[in-house]
Chain A
Amino acid sequence: MNLQNPGVLLALLPLAGFIVLLYLLKIRRKDLTVPATFLWPSRTDEVRANTLFQRLRFSWLLVLQLVALIALAFALARPLTRQAGLSGRVTVFVLDASAGMGATDVAPTRFDEGLRLVRDAVRAASTGDRMALIEAGPVPRVVFPLSTDPARQVAALESCRRYDAAADVGEALRLAAAVVANQESAQIVLLSDGAFDPPQNFAPGKAAVVYRSLGQTAENLAIVALGSSVTTEGRLAYCGVRNFGAAPAGTTLTIYADGRVLDSAKLLAKPGETTGRTVPVPAGVKAIEARLNPPDALVADDYAVTVTDPNAALRVLLVTQGDPFLERALSLDPRVTLDRAQAVPDSEQGATGPASTYDIVVFDGIAEEPVRSRGVLTLGVAGGPSPVRANGTVKNPIAVSAENHPILDGVDLRNVFIDSAQKVTPKATARTLSESSQTSLLVVDEGKQRRAYLAFRVLDSDFPLQVGFPIFVANVLDFLAGKAAADVLAVPAGSTFNLPADAADRPSLVVPSGRSLALKVEDGQARVRDLDRVGRYELRLGKTTKTLFASLRNERESNIAPVPSLSLGGGTVKAVATPVRYADFWRPLLLLGLLVLGAEWWLFARRS
C-alpha cells in the first residue's frame, strides 16, 4: 500500500495522545451512601472526565475512538492499494486490431483474447469505475466512451472487428490520452502484440500506461513479395516467402493465374531466410495469386496477389514539404501505393536510365525535375520539363474557362478561391484546360511522358475543401497513367477509397464470404470500405463489375514475435502478464471511520 499524502499520519500520534490524555482525566464522581455496596457491580463506564488524573483503564470507547482516528487519518493519507487486474477507476483500453492480432498462437486469436480481457475487466469493474474502449484499426474507433454501464459496454464489444491490415495504434493512443485528459487515477491499457510503428506526439499526461502483451510465438511464414515483369522470356512471376520464426519451417507455395493453379512447390526456409519461386505466366493473365498451405499462425499473410495490368496498381512518389490534403486524396485511390519524399531520390533523377520505380511523380510546391515515370503532376512551381514557362506570380486569379477534358469531369475550378498562382505561358506542345484572365491555371502535355501542371499549390487555395478535389486527383491519376481505369484492382486490405459512381448503378461490394454489401453514393462517389480481410472482392457498379484483390504485405505485421517493451510517451513501457494497478482506498477507510464513530456514539449514549 502506498500513501499519496503520508504527512497526515504525522498528526496521528498527537491526536491519539490527546484522546488517551482525555481518558487519563478522572471523573469527579458524586458520593452517595447506600445500604450496601456489595450488590453493585463495579462498573465504571467513564464517558466523560473533568479532573486530573487517574490510571488509564481499558475502555471500549477509547478503543473505538482510536480505531476511528486511525481509519480517518489513513483515509486522509489517501492510500493506494495494489490490485491485480486491468481495470481502474478510469480506464481506457486500446485494443490493437491489426493483422498480427489475428495470430492463432493464443486461442482463438490474439484479438479475441484481448476482447476477452476487456470483457472480464468490464464485468469485474467496481461500481463507479469508468471505462472506454478504442479499437485500434487502420482508422481508430471509439467502441464505447468513458461510462459506467457494464451491460452496454459488453454489448458494444460485439461491434469490434479486426483488420488484415496495419493499425494506426499511435493515433489510437493519442485518442486515449485525450479521453483521459485531466482525469485522476486514470490509466491507458494497451492490448497488443507490440507490432506497430512507435507513436509520435503521444503524451499520456497524468494517466499511467499499461501494456498487456498478447502472443506467445514468432513462428510464422509469410509471402513478402509477389510481382510480375515482362522479360525476354515473357512474363515471369516471382513470389518470396520469409520465415519470421526462430526455427526452420516448411510450407507449400501454390501460385494461381486468374484462379487456376500455375505452380505448386514445397519450400523450406531457415529462420529469417527468404526463399521463393519464379514461374512463367501465360499471356493474358490478369491476376496472379499466391497461397501458403497449410495455414500457419497468421493466415492473413499466407495470401498475396498481384495484377498484371499496369493501371491496376500505381506507385506514386509525392515530392513535397508536406500537404496532408494531397496525401489524403492520393491515398483514397485504391490503385495508389504512395511514397513521400522531400526531394527526388538519386535513382529516379534523369530523363534517361533504367525504368522508374514509380508510375507517377507528384511535385508539390517543388520545381519539377526530369524523371522517368510514366506521368508527372506539378503543383505551383514549374520546372524545366514542365509544359509551361513561369514568368512571375499573380494574386487571386479566377478561373474563367474550362476545356472539355476527362481531368475536369466533375470538377469546377471557377468556384475555387486561389490566393496566389504562378503566372505561366504554355509551351507549344501543351494544352491549356483552364485559365484565368491573367494566366493559365491547368495545363497538360499528352506526349510520351504525360504531364499535368496546376499553377497553384492546393494549400494556397480552398480547393482541398471542395467536393471536386478528390475527383480531380483521381482524374489526374487516370490521365497520367495513360490508360482507362482497370477492371482488376489490387488494394491493401483494410483500405478505404472512393470510386466515381452513380446512385442509379446501385453499387455493391461482394466480400469473400459471398455476402453483398450496398455502397452509399455521395457527391458522385461510392465509398468502398469493409475490405477487412485479404481475398477477392467484387465491386458491382450497374452492369460493370470490378474485381478487387485485397492483400496484406507488411513485414511488421508478419513478424508476430510479441514485443516485450514499447517506447511510449517518452518512456519505456514493459509488457506485463497480469497488470497491477494502484486503486484509491480512502473511501472504504472513511466509511469504516464513520461507522466506528457511529458505534462509539451509540455506545456512549447507552452508557451515559
Chain B
Amino acid sequence: MRGERLSRKKGVSIEFADYREYAEGDDLRHFDWNVYARLENAVVRTYQDEEDLAVHLLLDRSASMSFGDPSKAQAARRFAAAFGHVALGAGDALFLVSLGTREAPAPPIRGRATYPKLVRRLSSDPPEGREGLARSLRAFAAGDARPGLAILLSDGLDPDIEAGVRALASRGHEVLFLQILSAVDLEPDLEGDLRLLDSETDGTVEITANSYALRGYQANLRAHQARIAEAVRRCGGRIATVRSEASVEDFLRTTGRREAWVVR
C-alpha cells in the first residue's frame, strides 16, 4: 500500500526488475503479451518501484478463538475483511493464511474485484485447530512466503507466542499484531472447584476458583500480554488489543489511531 501506509521499506525505483507469473487481478497493462505469444507463459513485468506489497493476513483459527460472544473468530474475520479490503484496494498481493490448522496456503489475490473472493475465503467454519499458534507461525516463517506485511489476527494465547513473532520478524516480515480477546479471557467468571481443560491441548489445571486464583490469572494474563508487546516492539512491529465485540469503526477511530495503525 505504497503511499498509503507507513512502511519500513524506503526508496522507489522505475527500473525494470523482473518477470513474474501472472496472478489473478494483476494489472493487464503490465502483462507481457510478447512472452505470452512466444512462450504461452502468462507473465507480467515488474519494476523496482512498482513491486507489489505482500500482505499476509495471518488468521488464527485455533480452537481458543471460538470463545466469546461474539467469538474472537468472528471478530478476527471482521477485521481480516477490513484489512484485506484496504490491501486489495491498494493493489497489494493479499495472502490469507490460516494459523492453527493444517490448511494449505491459498494463492494470493489482488485487486478490488477479488474482494468477494476474500470474503468467501474467510470461512465461517468454527475454528477448531489444535496445532498451536506459535508452531503455526514458525511454520509459516519457515516457508517460502514473500516477506511483506504480516497482519496477525489472534488472541495470542500461546505460551510461546513470542517465539512465533520473532520468527516472523526474522523472515523480514513487518508485524502488525491485532490481539483479539473476549470477556472470557479478560474477565473469566468462574466459581467453585474446577478442572480446566485446555481448548487446544490436552492440558488440565485443577483450581478452586476463588479470589486468589482469579487474581493469579489476571496477573499471568497481564504478564503474558506484556511479553507479547515487548516481543512485537523489539521486532519493530505494532500491537493493539481489542475486545471481540469491538467494531472496525471503533478500532479505526480509537485504538488504531492511538497505536498508529491508521494515518490521516
**Residues of A in contact with B (beta carbons under 8 Å apart):** 27-48, 606-608
Interface segment among B47-55, B144-152, B194-202: the answer is B194-202
Q: List the A side residues contacting B203 at CB < 8 Å.
A: 37-38
A-B contact pairs, 25 of them (CB 8 A): A28-B193, A29-B195, A30-B192, A30-B194, A31-B194, A32-B190, A33-B197, A33-B198, A33-B199, A34-B184, A34-B188, A36-B200, A37-B201, A38-B198, A38-B203, A38-B220, A39-B220, A40-B216, A42-B207, A44-B193, A44-B207, A44-B208, A45-B212, A47-B208, A607-B210
- Shortest CB-to-CB span from A32 to chain B, Å, is 5
Q: List the B side residues contacting A606 at CB < 8 Å.
A: 210-212
User: Are A43 and B200 CB-contacts (below 8 A) given A29-B194, A32-B190?
Assistant: no
User: Are A38 and B210 CB-contacts (below 8 A) given A30-B194, A33-B197, A46-B193?
Assistant: no
Give Cα A607 to B157, complex, Å: 27
Interface residue from B188, B198, B216, B221 paired with A43 (Cβ < 8 Å): B216
Interface residue from B196, B210, B211 paired with A40 (Cβ < 8 Å): B196
Q: List the B side residues contacting A36 at CB < 8 Å.
A: 64, 157-158, 198-200
**Is B206 an interface position by the 8 A CB rule?**
yes
User: Are A34 and B208 CB-contacts (below 8 A) given A39-B224, A40-B216, A43-B216?
Assistant: no
**When each residue 69-105 of chain B gets 1 if its CB lies under 8 Å from chain A and 0 otherwise, what string results?**
0000000000000000000000000000000000000
Cross-chain contact B206 with A42 (CB below 8 angstroms): yes
Give Cα A606 to B196, complex, Å: 21
User: Are A34 and B199 CB-contacts (below 8 A) given A45-B212, A606-B211?
Assistant: yes
Interface residue from A32, A41, A46, A608 paired with B197 (Cβ < 8 Å): A32
Q: List the A side residues contacting B245 at CB < 8 Å.
A: none
Give Cα A350 to B182, complex, Å: 129
Give Cα A48 to B203, complex, Å: 24
**Is B185 an interface position by the 8 A CB rule?**
yes
Q: List the B side residues contacting A45 at CB < 8 Å.
A: 208, 210, 212-213
Interface residue from B199, B211, B220 paired with A35 (Cβ < 8 Å): B199
Cross-chain contact B195 with A41 (CB below 8 angstroms): no
Give Cα A41 to B209, complex, Å: 10
Q: Which partner residue on chain B sits nearest A40 by CB separation?
A: B205
Q: List the A side residues contacting B158 at CB < 8 Å.
A: 36
Q: List the B side residues contacting A42 at CB < 8 Å.
A: 205-207
Give Cα A183 to B18, complex, Å: 114
Q: List the B side residues contacting A34 at CB < 8 Å.
A: 67, 184, 188, 196-199
Q: List the B side residues contacting A608 at CB < 8 Å.
A: 208, 210
Interface residue from B64, B190, B217 paired with A41 (Cβ < 8 Å): B217
Known contacts A30-B195, A40-B196, A42-B206; 9 additional CB pairs below 8 A are A35-B155, A35-B185, A38-B203, A39-B224, A41-B220, A44-B207, A45-B208, A46-B208, A607-B212
Interface residue from A32, A39, A46, A47 paired with B221 (Cβ < 8 Å): A39
Prevailing SS type, chain B contact patch: mixed
Q: Which partner residue on chain A sits nearest B133 by CB separation?
A: A36
Cross-chain contact A39 with B217 (CB below 8 angstroms): yes
- Shortest CB-to-CB span from B43 to chain A, Å, is 46
Give Cα A41 to B158, complex, Å: 15
**Is B159 an interface position by the 8 A CB rule?**
yes
Q: List the A side residues contacting B64 at CB < 8 Å.
A: 35-36
- Shortest CB-to-CB span from A3 to chain B, Å, is 39
Cross-chain contact B193 with A29 (CB below 8 angstroms): yes
Most buried by B among A33, A36, A42, A607: A36
User: Which are the 6 A-B pairs with shortest beta-carbon distances?
Assistant: A41-B216, A35-B64, A36-B157, A37-B198, A29-B195, A45-B208
**Is B204 an interface position by the 8 A CB rule?**
yes
Cross-chain contact A40 with B224 (CB below 8 angstroms): no
Cross-chain contact A41 with B213 (CB below 8 angstroms): yes
Give Cα A50 to B63, complex, Å: 32
Give Cα A503 to B175, complex, Å: 123
Q: List the B side residues contacting A28 at CB < 8 Å.
A: 193
Cross-chain contact B157 with A32 (CB below 8 angstroms): no
Q: List the B side residues contacting A38 at CB < 8 Å.
A: 157, 159, 198, 203, 220
Q: List the A side residues contacting B193 at CB < 8 Å.
A: 27-30, 44, 46, 48
Give Cα A146 to B155, complex, Å: 79
Q: Which partner residue on chain B sits nearest A29 by CB separation?
A: B195
Q: List the A side residues contacting B208 at CB < 8 Å.
A: 43-47, 607-608
Interface residue from B157, B194, B197, B210 paired with A39 (Cβ < 8 Å): B157
Give Cα A520 to B199, complex, Å: 105
Interface residue ranges of B138-186 to A (CB < 8 Å) = 155, 157-159, 182, 184-185
- Shortest CB-to-CB span from B70 to chain A, Å, is 15
Q: List the A side residues contacting B205 at CB < 8 Å.
A: 37, 40, 42
Cross-chain contact B212 with A32 (CB below 8 angstroms): no
Q: Which partner residue on chain A sits nearest B159 by CB separation?
A: A38
Give Cα A39 to B185, complex, Å: 10
Cross-chain contact B157 with A35 (CB below 8 angstroms): yes
Q: List the A side residues contacting B195 at CB < 8 Å.
A: 29-32
- Shortest CB-to-CB span from B116 to chain A, Å, is 31
User: Are A29 and B188 CB-contacts (below 8 A) given A36-B199, A40-B217, A41-B213?
Assistant: no
Give Cα A40 to B208, complex, Å: 11
Q: Which partner residue on chain A sits nearest B195 by CB separation?
A: A29
Most buried by A among B198, B201, B221: B198
Give Cα A608 to B210, complex, Å: 6
- Shortest CB-to-CB span from B213 to chain A, Å, is 5
